[in-house]
Structure 1
Amino acid sequence: MPEPRSPMASFAESVMNVIDGPITWFRESIVEPNQQKQNWYHQRFRRVPTIDQCYTDDAVCRFEADQQFRRDRMVDNEIVNILRQRFEDCTLYEAPDHMVKCKPLLEQYEKATENWFIKYGDLGGYANAKTAYMKQKHRLIWERRHGPVGSGMNQEAAH
């Protein structure tokens, strides 16, 4: 640190050291050594209870489940968007052999899109955790009675 240019600057620096010194010491010797070093984009938040773990009259739990559902949907949307962008970039870069070289990316994107539609498709923009849970429940009941969705109905169930 350079020498102060005047007695006033020297006085101001000494006052700052008296005020800032203990704060800086506390941060450098107590706070920073006890922090977990991680990048902000790798931070993991705790999961809240899902809608099936909430009581019917617990409005706070249902609100938290809805917020968790919205966060999960945003993350899944971004995953599908990133996979689509990777496939499009590969197609542009590898043309005219893109159907051979980009096939693994296409398969990964199609599988992610299928999984996204299984979970969020046909719910609309105002869906919440309860509607998604009901969709999952109805799909499981359908599969128990008729087999996997898209495979046609079982013959004994059709009669």
Structure 2
Amino acid sequence: MPEEATPRNILEKFVLSVSNTLERPVVWFRETVVEPNQQHSVWYHQKFRRVPTIDECYTDDAVCIAEANLQFKRDKLVDSDILSILRERYEDCALYEAPDHLEKCRPLFDQYQEATTNWFIKYGDLGGYGDAKAAYMKQKHRMIWERRHGPVGSGMNGAAPTEN
């Protein structure tokens, strides 16, 4: 707690005593109960260990595949939440800077657009039941496409062989 200045008059003394009456039990509870238990509790900010990804699993290892799918779903939730936070930041900026938000909120919008593109590259078109294997196959197909035709969205570049 910060050092408290001595009250100058009776009103400050009264306000300080009411404040201490309300604040001290809360501070005591946090310092003696909450903070010591944060280090020992497995439920407080649970951190999962990273497991092998789907490309590191053997085809008949069901446990490894299941763990990779669970990790994929956790990663998708985290990435979706990050995308939601970026969208909220841009919307708040646009609301606050209403008339000229296009210039003032441009960095936030660009960051949101890049995150949206990256999210769609990884998770887009997988559907609600998409799993780690489907995402891995999507990534593989994208890499093959880029090797043959250049970056996605740049057109065919005339690199694809045409049939007569």
TM value normalised by structure 2: 0.71
> Equivalent of 2:77, from 74, 78, 99?
74
Q: Which residue of 2 aligns with 1:149?
A: 152
- CA displacement at 1:63 relative to structure 2: 0.2
The equivalences for 1:53-132 within 5 A come to: 53-132=56-135
Gaps of 5+ in 1: 1-31
- Measure the CA separation in 1 of the matches of 2:94 and 2:47: 33
Residue 58 of structure 1 deviates from its aligned partner by 0.3
Report how many aligned residue pairs link the two structures. 125
Q: Any conservation in 1 of the 2:126–2:135 contact (CA below 8 Å)? A: yes
SS in 2 for 1:156: coil
Larger Rg: 1
Structure 1 stretches of 4+ with a deviation exceeding 6 A read none
How far is the alpha carbon of 1:155 from its aligned partner?
1.3
Equivalent of residue 47 in structure 1, options 41, 46, 50: 50
Q: CA RMSD in A?
A: 2.1
Q: Among the aligned pairs, what percent are the same residue?
A: 70
How far is the alpha carbon of 1:97 from its aligned partner?
A: 1.4
Residue type at the aligned position of 1:131: A
Structure 2, unpaired ranges of 5+: 1-35
Distance (whole Å) between structure 1 residues aligned to residue 159 and residue 96 of structure 2: 51
State the partner residue of 2:138: 135
